[in-house]
Structure 1
Amino acid sequence: MSDILLASQAPGATDLSVVPGASGARQFWRRLRARRAALVAAAVVALLVLVALAAPLLTAIEGQDPTTYHPDLIDSARGGVPVGPFGGMSGDHWLGVEPQTGRDLFARLVHGARVSLGVALAATVVQIALGVLVGVAAALGTRWVDQLLSRFTDIIVALPLMIMSLALLAIVPSGFPRPVLVAGVIGLIAWGNIAKIVRAQTLTVKGLDHVAAARLSGWGTWRIARRELLPGLAAPVITYAAILIPSNISVEAALSFLGVGVQPPTPSWGQMLTAADVWYQAAPQYLLLPAGALFVTVLALTVLGDGVRTALDPRAASRLTVGTGRRREARAAKVNRAAKAAKAAKANRAGRAGTAGTADRAGRHGTRDTADRGGGS
């Protein structure tokens, strides 16, 4: 029923309310492929996820693990600086070792990717679940329910994320699994914005014809929400989730950097940055490697999120196309002028050829007439 009604939807309705089918998925992929930066970012993200999943295998190939100390690779006379060039890089330690501890840096880097990406993904799932639940309930509830949930959402949005996270993480016993705790705290505090987006979009979608038809058919509120509203919310939710993941990675790194996030010996990029802030001169790779990994990950996810947003919203793509400005317009005008000039030249050649042919035929006809008159006389 909803598919038939969507086909007859008014042209002024929002594009985000359209449920993407097989053809919609093909259009999305075609738009995404047109953005090369998004494809490169997707490849980088896929590589990072593959490295994080294969971290135990990679460290097994290297023959190291992220927690074993190697005191023989540390020069205690120099304050714990790694022995050897480039921070102790060798065939046994591909990226060298940590100062003071001698733990393998490659093993901690790839295992830290598992923690950072896992915490960010888990926090994003919690945020999306709570935001969608509260946003849909506020939009479909009574006026009092909407007011209550909206004001509660405003309070959540107004809470400072870092300060609340620091306070909550500081009072939890140290025996609790820290990655799970960090993901839960971030997810429980930072779901307000997605709830506002979902509420606004639900209010738009529930006024469409297919939702009204489902209501007239006797469907219950939650059945309408599950069958008619949630598919229409897929595009904005996916878009916002793609933006949330790099933000959550940065929050986890900041919390670990402040000492209340993931605790040793569990590796994390933020935690590695915390320990590396005094070694940037003696062992610069200890600081540059986790900082570079964090920068590349956040940048790739941000570019990918922007590409997904543009591919899911054709209006954004058209705005970008129009907004490229004068160079695109000048190039189109130049092409049009060239096409008109070529058409005019072709017409001129055709006209000259026609004129010459007419004159030639007229000359031959005149010659024959003269000859005929001469013969007759």
Structure 2
Amino acid sequence: MSEALLSQEVGAVQAAPASGARQFWRRLRGQRAAAVAAAVVVLLVLLALCAPLLTALEGQDPNVYHPDLIDSARGGVPIGSLGGISGDHWLGIEPQTGRDLFARLAYGARVSLSVAFAATLVQVLLGVAFGVAAGLGSKLVDNILSRVTDVVVALPVMVLSLALLAIVPDTFPRPVLVALIIGLVSWGGTAKIVRAQTLSLKSLDYVAAARLSGWGKWRIARRELLPSLAAPVVTYAALLFPSNISSEAALSFLGVGVKPPTPSWGQMLTSADVWYQAAPQYLLLPAGMLFLTVFSLTVLADGVRTALDPRAASRLRIGTGRKRAKKGGAA
């Protein structure tokens, strides 16, 4: 995708002043789908943050085995209906191990959300740094940084992540490693968008006035450009977050991501692929949580984009006004 297309995608999203924060929240609340998605995301975050409290309330630990609750004669299938659901095990237990599914889902949410957040943070920091430096730098600096960005964008992310994760010793904290690798190999798109926006903003009058007043490049970037880049960067970061959750789940599913006994939704899917007939809830629960999280974050990201884009908000108001006018005429 060319830089012109990337710029066109987010070019209209300019940062609102501090007084516009209230308008942003009003626009976001006005979108029912985004409001519902935000509520779901808040619940998922609370599940992750309160995982120790919730599992203590249930009285279970995510890594404790319960061999007495599985039927060894049938290959380790949970004893009881619906995968062993009971007052002690709210969502049942894992086949073969007997570990509590609710506890592992709750702690898996902590891993998936924290890894995705850290990876997104790395992508945004590197992308903004490279994009602003390329947009404000000389022609030589711009060419060098743009070629480096092109190489990063062209890299096969999943293949490179698999290779790096396979050679790093297991002693390194796996969630931290997964977050770093996803962030370090996926910041190119952010850098391209920020560079295109920086080149567009650099020609505006207030930036030219700051340059004529004797301000240095980095002061201009800090005082004039970064506030205007906040809206497109936040929009793009909101779209990156669900993608990073999927990447972490895919790496864990392939066996090179988060390692046992640390619970992860992708890791649970790896263990559940042979149990979809004997114990379908073992597969459906982590898959459903993953789908719900990615879908909610995607809908919320689209709502954030619309709320930050004045033109989209204007079109929304015009369309709403036309609908109300038609209803009034029909009445």
Q: Please, what TM-score do these two structures have when normalized by structure 2?
A: 0.93
1:201 match: 197
Alignment match of 1:85 (pick from 81, 84, 90): 81
Aligned to 1:136: 132
Letter in structure 1 aligned against 2:43? L
Tell whether 2:28 aligns with 1:32: yes
The 1-side partners of 2:179 and 2:300 are apart by 22
CA contact under 8 A between 2:16 and 2:308: conserved in structure 1? no
How far apart in 2 are the matches of 1:114 and 1:333?
A: 48
Alpha-carbon distance in structure 2 between the residues aligned to 1:110 and 1:160 = 32
Deviation at 1:72, TM superposition (A): 0.6
1:228 maps to which residue? 224
Paired position in structure 2 for 1:213? 209
The Cα offsets for residues 212-270 of structure 1, whole Å up to 9 and x where unpaired, read as 11112211111110011000000000000110000000011011111111111100000
Structure 2 distance, partners of 1:333, 1:118, is 47
1:85 CA displacement: 1.1
Verify the 8 A CA contact 2:15 2:308 in the aligned structure 1: no
Q: 2:7 is matched with which residue?
A: none
Q: In the alignment, does 2:173 pair up with 1:177?
A: yes
Instruction: Give 2:115's aligned residue.
Output: 119
CA distance in 1, matches of 2:66, 2:326: 68
Please state if 1:45 is matched with 2:41.
Answer: yes
1:96 to 92, 105, 108: 92
Which segments of 5 or more consecutive residues in structure 1 lack a partner in the other structure? Answer: 1-13, 340-377
Separation (CA, whole Å) in 2 of partners of 1:329 and 1:235? 28
The aligned counterpart of 2:164 is 168
Query: Highest CA radius of gyration, 1 or 2?
Result: 1
> Aligned equivalents of 1:16 and 1:40: distance in 2?
23
Q: TM-score, normalised by structure 1?
A: 0.82
Distance 1:162 1:19, change over 3 A: same
Following TM superposition, by how much is the alpha carbon of 1:16 offset from its aligned partner in structure 2, in angstroms?
Answer: 3.4
Give the whole-Å Cα distance in 2 for the aligned partners of 1:217 and 1:45.
46
Q: Residue in 2 aligned with 1:279?
A: 275
Q: Summarize the Cα distance change of 1:18–1:108 in structure 2 as closer, same or farther, 3 Å threshold.
A: closer
C-alpha RMSD of matched pairs (Å): 1.8
Q: 1:323 to 1:162 in 2, by over 3 A?
A: farther
* CA distance, structure 1, for counterparts of residue 276 and residue 158 of structure 2: 26
Give the secondary-structure state (helix, strand or coil) at the position aligned to 2:90.
Answer: coil
State which of 16, 21, 41 in structure 1 corresponds to 2:13. Answer: 16
- Maintained 8 Å contact 1:119/1:180: yes
Letter of the 1:21 partner, please give it.
A
Residue of structure 1 equivalent to 2:53: 57
| Structure 2: runs of 5 or more not aligned | 1-10
User: How many angstroms does 1:316 deviate by?
Assistant: 2.3
> Is the contact between residue 17 and residue 205 of structure 1 (CA under 8 Å) also seen in structure 2?
no
Amino acid at match of 1:185: I
Q: For residues 39 and 295 of structure 1, what CA distance do their matches in structure 2 show? A: 18
Which residue number corresponds to residue 153 of structure 1? 149
Is the 2:15–2:230 contact (alpha carbons within 8 Å) kept by the matching residues of 1?
Answer: no
Q: Secondary structure at the match of 1:16?
A: coil
Paired AA for residue 308 in structure 2: L
The 1:120/1:330 distance shift into structure 2, 3 A limit, reads closer
Query: How many pairs does the alignment contain?
Result: 321
Letter of the 1:16 partner, please give it.
V
2:304 counterpart of 1:315: no
Q: For the structure 1 residues 272 and 330, does the alpha-carbon distance in structure 2 shift closer, same or farther, using more than 3 Å as the test?
A: closer
Q: Percent identity?
A: 76
| Secondary structure at 1:91 match in 2 | coil
Verify the 8 A CA contact 2:242 2:298 in the aligned structure 1: yes
Q: Which has the higher contact order (CA 8 A, sep 6+)?
A: 2
Maintained 8 Å contact 1:16/1:235: yes
